[in-house]
């Protein structure tokens, strides 16, 4: 397949608003590729050079891309930069200048998809002296053999701004459509993806005709985390779970997934980013386990050895850093409360009942001073569950998680296998995690700042769209305002991001990337926001305020529209 052919399909996808129609276009494109091309094509559609957990970037910034465009088009850097300033899209600028090019180099040849992918993979692995010139040269070679439209997507891809708006759920639908014309295999594909977080590998297996119903976990392919549903009180939790359940303390720390095999240890965040080097005491404790291979997860909290108490999330999050690790690990040593195990010594445990998995993790962590099983009781009594909940709150924890003893590990999904009960915030039963979709300039007392507030959204997991829920102007210190000003300026966009639904227009839209925890007095019905919109009325937060930036969460882990509606119903019953 030529990359120019893929680019034509990318243009069709970009012009389409309907998720179903986008999936159909992706399915048509996938139908034209061979088995070898499936994996790289999926990565490119996702906007990645490899699975996200590998942390690989092409590593070409705007300045290097401008130089490559200049070399190929015969223009000077200043001309390219000026057009980019006008268009706001360096890909469109590349398309414009290559369309004005007098002739294509005689030495150029059309870019095949596999060659494009191999070139970008080579660029991503370059570093050191002379690497910048080599990167420019390789990108120039691709642009030299590119059509103007192809150049647009080559440049966008290397900058990490492909802008197709196709999420993983749409790609999964498209894969099923390639074989059946419908979503018949959606659940099988979803499960495989949730167990390995690598849609390229799933696509490769699927297109090759392999049976994905037996797909299993393996070390160093992180599992998408299981998520918990909400219920408002102990009685409803016990009734929903239908008898005895495990009730565990809910720790407000850093969720970690630990992978171990052959003496090698990797630690992944809840966003599935590698962060092994940040937590040497967790790595050492995992390496000391008797297991030959394992995948397990827990919540890490910083521990004060002298006072024998745990630090807050705000203090614990300081451990997530690239530098000064040795000092921070001495000042804020971690304990990992292990709450589940999904793989041990070559065996996938995800389909076993929770009660069995719990016994396995307790045996594995016995006498380990750093890896501790989460505190737990087994009960079918609402009174005992409520008592344990109150004890957890009094100890400074978030609340509790109740777990169905009979259920498997439900990767990547929010099911009633796990149910959380957290402390209330006013009339609202819980805080929410919202995605930043835009920001406002400072006014009045904040006029000195290029930041005055945020526009936030929650995730509609049925449409895979972000729906606005709150304009937030409080809860920020001056230092936080400066941080947001710098952080959001790097990802601001001239147009509303694809997949964002909002009636409000901020001063600047931003790429949906950051998540914040938000508290509010209550959830209200509002004509201004699009969360759960029915007719002209959606849901909104009354007097919202930012609690913290959640570096450990991505947009796919934001509070969902369904959860907002559920919280609204809980709130209404409480006030009745």
Q: Mean pLDDT lowest for which of 34-48, 71-85, 437-451?
A: 437-451
Q: Is the pLDDT of residue 101 over 60?
A: yes
Q: In terms of residue numbers, what domain contains 245?
A: 228-422
For 36-60, write each residue's pLDDT tens digit. Answer: 999 999 999 999 999 989 989 898 9
Counting the structural domains of the chain, the total is 2
Domain closes at, from 356, 388, 422: 422
Token couple for 237: 């939790």
- Structure confidence at residue 107 (pLDDT): 56
Q: How many CA atoms lie within 13 A of 243 on its CB side?
A: 2
Q: Are residue 291 and residue 413 in the same domain, yes or no? A: yes
386 in any annotated domain: yes
Asked if residue 399 and residue 250 are part of one domain, the reply reads yes
Are 39 and 46 in contact, with CB atoms under 8 Å apart? Answer: no
Name the pairing type of β-strands 432-440 and 453-460.
antiparallel
Q: Is 45 a member of any domain?
A: no
Is 208 within a domain? no
Give the count of alpha carbons within 13 A of 267, CB side only. 22
Complete DSSP assignment for 428-453: BSS-EEEEEEEEE---GGGTTSS--E
> Is the predicted pLDDT of residue 309 greater than 90, yes or no?
no
Q: Are 403 and 304 members of one domain?
A: yes
Both structure tokens of 498: 């694809």
Is 289 inside any structural domain? yes
Pair (345, 251) in one structural domain: yes
- pLDDT of 106 above 60: no
Chain segment 184-241, per-residue pLDDT in tens: 999 999 999 999 999 999 999 999 999 998 899 999 999 999 999 988 889 999 999 9
Measured distance CA(422)–CA(400) in Å, rounded: 7
Q: Label the pairing between strands 432-440 and 508-510.
A: antiparallel
* Residues known to be catalytic: 250
Residue 315: give its domain's CATH number: 3.30.470.30
Residue 385 and residue 254 in one domain: yes
Structural domain includes residue 35 = no
In this structure, the answer to whether residues 232 and 375 fall within a common structural domain is yes
408 in the same domain as 483: no
Query: Is 464 within a domain?
Result: yes
Structure-block tokens of residue 460: 């509609």
User: Residue 509 maps to which CATH number?
Assistant: 2.40.50.140
Are 333 and 409 within one domain? Answer: yes
The strand pair at 264-269 and 309-310 is best described as: unpaired
**Tens-digit pLDDT profile for residues 326-385:** 777 777 788 899 999 999 999 999 999 999 999 999 999 999 999 999 999 999 999 999
Count CB neighbours of 396 within 10 A: 11
Place of tokens 């052959």: 262
Among 422, 449, 468, residue at a domain's last position: 422
Residue 458 within any structural domain of the chain:
yes
Label residue 426 by pLDDT band (50, 70, 90).
low
Q: Are 388 and 252 in a shared domain?
A: yes
Domain boundary among 398, 422, 446: 422
User: What pTM was computed for the model?
Assistant: 0.86
Q: In terms of Cα–Cα distance, which of 222, 88, 145, 184 is closest to 494?
A: 88
Q: Which of 305-314, 526-535, 539-548 has the lowest mean pLDDT?
A: 305-314
For residues 528 and 455, give the distance between their C-alpha atoms in angstroms, rounded to a whole number. 12
Residues 387 and 502 in one domain: no
Q: Does 413 share its domain with 370?
A: yes
The region, left, alpha or beta by phi > 0 then psi within -120 to 50, assigned to residue 228 is beta
- Tell me the per-residue pLDDT of 85-98, one tens digit each, with 9 for 90 and over: 999 899 999 999 99
Assess whether 475 and 414 both reside in one domain: no
Look at residue 307 and tell me if it is in a domain.
yes
Q: What percent of the chain has pLDDT over 70?
A: 96
């Amino acid at each position: 397949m030529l990359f120019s052919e893929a680019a034509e399909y990318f243009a069709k996808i970009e012009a389409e608003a309907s998720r179903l129609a986008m999936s159909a276009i992706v399915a048509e494109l996938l139908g034209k590729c061979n088995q070898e091309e499936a994996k790289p094509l999926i990565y490119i559609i996702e906007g990645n050079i490899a699975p996200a957990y590998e942390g690989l970037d092409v590593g070409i910034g705007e300045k290097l891309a401008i130089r490559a465009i200049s070399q190929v088009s015969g223009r000077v850097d200043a001309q390219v930069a000026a057009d980019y300033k006008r268009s706001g899209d360096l890909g469109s600028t590349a398309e414009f200048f290559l369309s004005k090019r007098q002739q294509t180099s005689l030495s150029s040849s059309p870019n095949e998809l596999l060659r494009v992918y191999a070139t970008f993979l080579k660029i991503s692995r370059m570093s050191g002296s002379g690497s910048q010139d080599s990167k420019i040269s390789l990108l120039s070679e691709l642009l030299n053999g590119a059509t103007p439209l192809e150049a647009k997507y080559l440049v966008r891809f290397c900058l990490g701004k492909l802008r197709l708006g196709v999420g993983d759920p749409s790609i999964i639908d498209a894969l099923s459509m390639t074989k059946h014309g419908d979503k018949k295999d959606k659940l099988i594909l979803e499960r495989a993806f949730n167990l390995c977080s690598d849609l390229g590998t799933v696509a490769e297996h699927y297109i090759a005709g392999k049976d994905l119903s037996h797909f299993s976990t393996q070390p160093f392919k992180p599992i998408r985390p299981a998520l918990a549903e909400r219920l408002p009180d102990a009685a409803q939790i016990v009734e929903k779970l239908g008898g005895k359940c495990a009730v565990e303390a809910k720790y407000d720390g850093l969720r970690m997934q630990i992978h171990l095999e052959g003496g090698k240890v990797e630690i992944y965040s809840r966003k599935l980013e590698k962060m092994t080097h940040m937590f040497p005491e967790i790595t050492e404790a995992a390496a000391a386990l008797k297991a030959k291979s394992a995948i397990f997860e827990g919540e890490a909290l910083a521990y004060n050895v002298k006072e024998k108490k745990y630090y807050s999330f705000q203090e614990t999050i300081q451990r997530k850093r690239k530098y000064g690790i040795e000092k921070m690990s001495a000042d804020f040593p971690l304990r990992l409360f292990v709450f589940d195990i999904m793989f041990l010594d070559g065996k996938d445990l995800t389909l076993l009942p929770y009660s069995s998995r719990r016994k396995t993790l307790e045996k594995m962590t016995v006498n380990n001073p750093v890896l501790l099983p989460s505190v737990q009781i087994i009960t079918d009594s609402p009174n005992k569950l409520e008592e344990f909940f109150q004890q957890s709150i009094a100890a400074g924890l978030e609340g509790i998680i109740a777990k169905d003893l009979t259920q498997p590990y439900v990767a990547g999904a929010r099911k009633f296998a796990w149910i959380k009960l957290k402390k209330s915030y006013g009339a609202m039963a819980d805080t929410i995690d919202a995605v930043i979709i835009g920001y406002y300039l400072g006014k009045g007392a904040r006029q000195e700042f290029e930041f005055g507030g945020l526009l936030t959204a929650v995730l509609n997991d049925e449409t895979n769209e972000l729906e606005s829920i709150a304009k937030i102007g409080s809860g920020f210190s001056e230092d936080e305002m400066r941080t947001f000003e710098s952080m959001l300026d790097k990802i601001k966009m001239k147009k509303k991001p694809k997949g964002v639904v909002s009636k409000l227009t901020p001063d600047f839209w931003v790429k949906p990337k950051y998540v914040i925890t938000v508290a509010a007095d209550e959830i209200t019905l509002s004509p201004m926001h699009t969360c759960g919109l029915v007719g002209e009325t959606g849901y909104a937060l009354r007097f919202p305020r930012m609690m913290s930036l959640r570096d450990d969460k991505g947009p796919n882990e934001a509070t969902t529209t369904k959860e907002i509606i559920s919280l609204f119903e809980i709130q209404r019953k409480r006030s009745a």
